[in-house]
Amino acid sequence: MYALSRGGLLNKRSEGEVVWMLERRKPLDLLFPLKGNASSRTDEANTAAPSTVERLRAGVTLARDAVKAVSLTAMEALREGASFIGIVTDKNELADPFAHLDAPIWSEQPPAELFKLAYRYCEELTKREAGNFYHSFKYLPDDQRLAMCAIYAFCRRADDIADGDWADRFPGGAGEVDPEAVAYREQLESLQNQGTILDEEAYLNKITQLFFFRKKLSTCYTDVHSTDPVFLALGDTINRYGIPRDVFDDLISGMEDDLYNNRYRTFDELYVYCYRVASVVGLMCIEVYGYDDPRAKKFAESWGIFMQLTNVLRDVGEDIQRDRVYLPLDELEKNEMTEAELNGRIVLNKHWEPYCRQYAARARTYLDEARQLLPLLPRRSRYSPAAMIAFYDKILKQIEKQQGDVFTTRVKLNKAQKISLAATVYLRHRFLPGFLDPVWGALAKVGLLPSV
């Protein structure tokens, strides 16, 4: 039997016996906005001053007079040939159209043709790396679709640095021995008072790349323009939609977290991580979608938490192979489960399936809040988040159906499931007249229509 209490989700194995509890934040206790810690807040007036670590991260900038700029002649040559520059090689690989440039910024405001080329690069990257996400973008108006691709490209590249083998480019930088990069790294280590979980070579490579990644981000908020197509397009998106820098900085901070942490003791700690790598993406997206009601920010935060909690459960088996455990350790211990069992043996533990169901129930409290975001968005924008929410809800249901077995095969949707879900979401959020929304919602609650 499962029941919701004011403080969390209770699992009752027998009447009157509460065995354990999974904590979650009540809607009014959402981290809004989060500033690098797990303190609950109800409004912006209660926001604490930025921490020293946050000031360090936010202070990373790329000054025009500190680096070489691409000459006006080179830019004009690119402008003339922009329509002929390919972003796909003869081996069908994605190619940075500005890779041959030897400076990190343009000498002048780039012409419109180069912005278009940068957006083309981001759109092709999105199509290749995230077909499902791109499908959810493609029904947006052109400007919004391209903006979403620029945001995705930024997130993708940050993740590729932290969790992959992407070699990011910063022309003219001195790499790991760059004085600014070294100073940043040393201050970050001192303030966090902890070392890396990676081997030294990998750590130095990744933390340096993320430092220069922050430098390129700073160009989106000044009159300097990056020669990285991702940041050229992102800067234009930010200018069009007024997206604040802190959400992008927080995402890079989440990538840095992965260089220092591979265990999370409590749900509060996991929540901070989920906010940084997922909720901030929702906060970026709603600025593109458009909204008037400030509650949209709260529900966008919950949208990200729901999706990342689903990712955490789905990827338990893959993560343990990389020596990472995102499930809160105190919850495993309270339920008589150990890290050693996460190699797949845990499905034999009698506590695993009940824990997965409790975990899913907690995730769905954020799902319920995420769905409250949809009516606050313009109808033309709703399909995009609604499709992503529906896909992840289905994945979570599949995990429960498999009794928590996320080890035998990766839980994912097949083509038929994706098409069916997409069509249902499209029907409700693109074709269904607004006055019928409550009718669909009511029928969905009793199981006569899908909850999308």
Average pLDDT estimate for 30-53:
49
Please tell me the distance from the alpha carbon of residue 155 to that of residue 179, in angstroms, as a whole number: 26
pLDDT of residue 30: 44
Assess contact for 374 and 300: CB atoms under 8 A: no
Tell me, yes or no, whether 151 and 206 share the same domain. Answer: yes
Please tell me the distance from the alpha carbon of residue 422 to that of residue 347, in angstroms, as a whole number: 32
Please tell me the distance from the alpha carbon of residue 132 to that of residue 126, in angstroms, as a whole number: 9
Assess contact for 322 and 404: CB atoms under 8 A: no
pLDDT of residue 396: 96
pLDDT of residue 324: 96
- When mean pLDDT is compared over 18-32, 64-78, 277-291, 380-394, the highest value belongs to 277-291
Tell me, yes or no, whether 300 and 151 share the same domain. Answer: no
Average pLDDT estimate for 93-114:
92
User: What torsion do the CA atoms of 365, 370, 372, 375 make, to the nearest 10 degrees?
Assistant: -160
Tell me, yes or no, whether 414 and 331 share the same domain. Answer: yes
Which residues, at least 6 apart from 380, have a Cβ–Cβ distance to it below 8 Å?
140, 141
Please tell me the distance from the alpha carbon of residue 352 to that of residue 337, in angstroms, as a whole number: 8
Is the model's pLDDT at 10 over the cut of 70? no
pLDDT of residue 4: 34
Per residue in 70-90, pLDDT (tens digit) is 987 888 888 888 878 889 888
pLDDT confidence bin for 22, thresholds 50/70/90: low
pLDDT of residue 17: 34
Tell me, yes or no, whether 202 and 178 share the same domain. Answer: yes
Tell me, yes or no, whether 363 and 373 share the same domain. Answer: yes
Which residues, at least 6 apart from 385, have a Cβ–Cβ distance to it below 8 Å?
136, 282, 285, 289, 303, 370, 373, 374, 377
pLDDT of residue 282: 96
Stronger pLDDT, 268 or 41, i.e. the higher one: 268
Is residue 282, in this structure, part of any structural domain at all? yes
pLDDT of residue 34: 38
pLDDT of residue 5: 33
Is residue 30, in this structure, part of any structural domain at all? no
pLDDT of residue 63: 85
Is residue 9, in this structure, part of any structural domain at all? no
Tell me, yes or no, whether 115 and 207 share the same domain. Answer: yes
Structure tokens at 132: 């499902």
pLDDT confidence bin for 39, thresholds 50/70/90: very low
Q: Which residue has the tokens 């695993």?
A: 352
CA angle, residues 430, 436, 440, in degrees to nearest 5: 85
pLDDT of residue 1: 34
pLDDT confidence bin for 3, thresholds 50/70/90: very low
pLDDT confidence bin for 291, thresholds 50/70/90: very high
Please tell me the distance from the alpha carbon of residue 213 to that of residue 169, in angstroms, as a whole number: 9
Structure tokens at 121: 């690069």
Is the model's pLDDT at 25 over the cut of 60? no
pLDDT of residue 13: 44
- End of a domain among 230, 261, 292? 261
Per residue in 168-209, pLDDT (tens digit) is 999 988 899 999 999 999 999 988 878 899 999 999 999 999
Tell me, yes or no, whether 205 and 75 share the same domain. Answer: yes
Which residues, at least 6 apart from 256, have a Cβ–Cβ distance to it below 8 Å?
162, 188, 207, 210
Please tell me the distance from the alpha carbon of residue 218 to that of residue 114, in angstroms, as a whole number: 19
> What φ, ψ does residue 31 adopt, rounded to 5°?
-75, 100
Is residue 20, in this structure, part of any structural domain at all? no
Burial class (CB in 10 A: 0-12, 13-18, 19+), 332: buried
Assess contact for 341 and 310: CB atoms under 8 A: no
Task: For residue 409, give the DSSP letter.
Answer: S
Please tell me the distance from the alpha carbon of residue 216 to that of residue 158, in angstroms, as a whole number: 12
* Helix (H/G/I), strand (E/B), else coil: 250: helix
Per residue in 204-218, pLDDT (tens digit) is 999 999 999 999 999
DSSP string, 69-103: EE-HHHHHHHHHHGGG--SB-TTS-B--TTTT--S
Tell me, yes or no, whether 255 and 317 share the same domain. Answer: no
Please tell me the distance from the alpha carbon of residue 370 to that of residue 438, in angstroms, as a whole number: 17
pLDDT of residue 48: 61
Average pLDDT estimate for 440-448:
74
pLDDT of residue 264: 95
pLDDT of residue 445: 77
pLDDT confidence bin for 32, thresholds 50/70/90: very low
> 189 is in which domain, residue-wise?
51-261
Tell me, yes or no, whether 169 and 270 share the same domain. Answer: no
Tell me, yes or no, whether 81 and 156 share the same domain. Answer: yes
- Output the average pLDDT for the chain: 86
Is the model's pLDDT at 28 over the cut of 50? no
Number of structural domains in the chain? 2
Tell me, yes or no, whether 257 and 276 share the same domain. Answer: no
Assess contact for 147 and 237: CB atoms under 8 A: yes
pLDDT confidence bin for 59, thresholds 50/70/90: confident
Per residue in 331-353, pLDDT (tens digit) is 999 999 999 999 999 999 999 99
Q: Which residue has the tokens 């990389």?
A: 322
Q: How many CB atoms lie within 10 A of CB 70?
A: 21
- When mean pLDDT is compared over 54-58, 208-212, 384-388, the highest value belongs to 208-212
* Helix (H/G/I), strand (E/B), else coil: 22: strand
Average pLDDT estimate for 266-273:
93
Is residue 29, in this structure, part of any structural domain at all? no
Is the model's pLDDT at 167 over the cut of 90? yes
Please tell me the distance from the alpha carbon of residue 256 to that of residue 60, in angstroms, as a whole number: 14
Is the model's pLDDT at 8 over the cut of 60? no
- End of a domain among 218, 244, 261? 261
Say which CATH number the domain at 273 has: 1.10.600.10
> What φ, ψ does residue 381 adopt, rounded to 5°?
-100, -10
- End of a domain among 207, 239, 261? 261
Query: Can you state the angle between helices 229-241 and 142-163, rounded to 10 degrees?
Result: 130
Assess contact for 157 and 213: CB atoms under 8 A: yes
Q: How many CB atoms lie within 10 A of CB 293?
A: 13
Which residues, at least 6 apart from 233, have a Cβ–Cβ distance to it below 8 Å?
115, 118, 119, 121, 122, 146, 149, 150, 153
pLDDT of residue 158: 97
pLDDT confidence bin for 439, thresholds 50/70/90: confident
> In whole angstroms, what separates CA 123 from the centre of its chain?
17
> What φ, ψ does residue 245 adopt, rounded to 5°?
-70, -30
Please tell me the distance from the alpha carbon of residue 214 to that of residue 193, in angstroms, as a whole number: 21
Is the model's pLDDT at 311 over the cut of 80? yes
Assess contact for 282 and 392: CB atoms under 8 A: no
